Amino acid sequence: MLFVLSPAKSLDVESPVPALPTSDPPFVEYAAELMAVLRTLSPQQVAALMDLSDALAALNVARYQTWQPEHTAANSRPAIFTFNGDVYEGLDVRSLTPDDVQWLQTHVAILSGLYGVLRPLDRMQPYRLEMGTRLATAHGRTLYEFWGARIAQWLDERAAQDDGVVVNLASEEYFKAVDRRALRARVVQCVFEERRGAGYKIISFAAKRARGAMTRWAAQQRVQRVEDLQGFDADGYRFAPEVSDADRWVFRREARGG
C-alpha cells in the first residue's frame, strides 16, 4: 500500500541529516517550469498571491532565485527530514531506524505544490507553494490544472507495485490534486476524531499528528495488508467500525488536555 501525506509550511533547513541514500524527485522538470513562473513575481505579488507577510514573501522570492534543477547535497535535503509541521511531529522520523526510513521510502508519497510528489528521501530545495495557490501557468489558472492527471498516474504506478491500495492521510487541499477519474487504485481514507462533549470532532492539529503517527506505526509494524491498519492504537486512538464504511475508516480517542 502507499500512504499519501501533505507537506508542511514549516521547514527545517538546519538540523543535521542522517547519512542515508537519497533520490531525485520524479517531476523536477515540471518543478523547474513552475519555478520559472514564480521567478517573474515581485515580493509584493508573492505576498498577495499566498497571503504572506512581507518578510516571508521576501524570503521565498530569494529561494526562487537560487533554486536549481540539479538537486545536490549542497543545495537540498531529503524531504522527510525537511518538512516540520504537525504531521511530521507525529511521524518523528529522527527516532526511527534506518530500516524504518527505507520502508517509508517505498510506501510513502508526499504531495507538493512545487514538486507534485516527493518520496521521503527525495531531495528538495526550500520553497513555499501551497497546492491551493491560484498560480496561472500555460496549463491553466491553478496548480490543480497544472498537475492534471500526472500525480494520479504516478500514484497508480507505485501502488500497483504492492497491493494497489492508496491510504489517504493528506488534507483535502492536497488530495484534490489527485485526479480521481484517472486513479485506478483503491483509496482508503483514515479520519481521526476526538471526543468533545457528548460527541466526537476532528481537531485539526490532533488529526494531523495522528496522520504522522499512523505512518510511523505502519513503518514500525511493517504493515502488509491495509486491513492491518485497523489495529492502529498509538496516542489513544482506536478503530471505530460502527461509524466507518468500506473505504472511510474512523479512529477515535477520548479528549486530551491542552
Could you tell me the residue range of the domain that residue 46 belongs to?
2-253
**80, amino acid identity:** I
d(CA 82, CA 77): 7
Residue 146 lies in a domain: yes
Residue 258 lies in a domain: no
pLDDT at 132 over 70: yes
CB 61 within 8 A of CB 82: no
Q: What's the confidence (pLDDT) of residue 123?
A: 98
Residue 63 lies in a domain: yes
Q: What's the confidence (pLDDT) of residue 218?
A: 98
Nearest one of 42, 44, 52 to 9, comparing CA atoms: 52
Overall domain count for the chain: 1
d(CA 219, CA 228): 12
d(CA 124, CA 76): 5
pLDDT at 32 over 90: yes
Instruction: Render pLDDT for 161-216 as a digit per residue (tens, 0 to 9).
Output: 989 999 999 999 999 999 999 999 999 999 999 999 989 999 999 999 999 999 99
d(CA 108, CA 117): 10
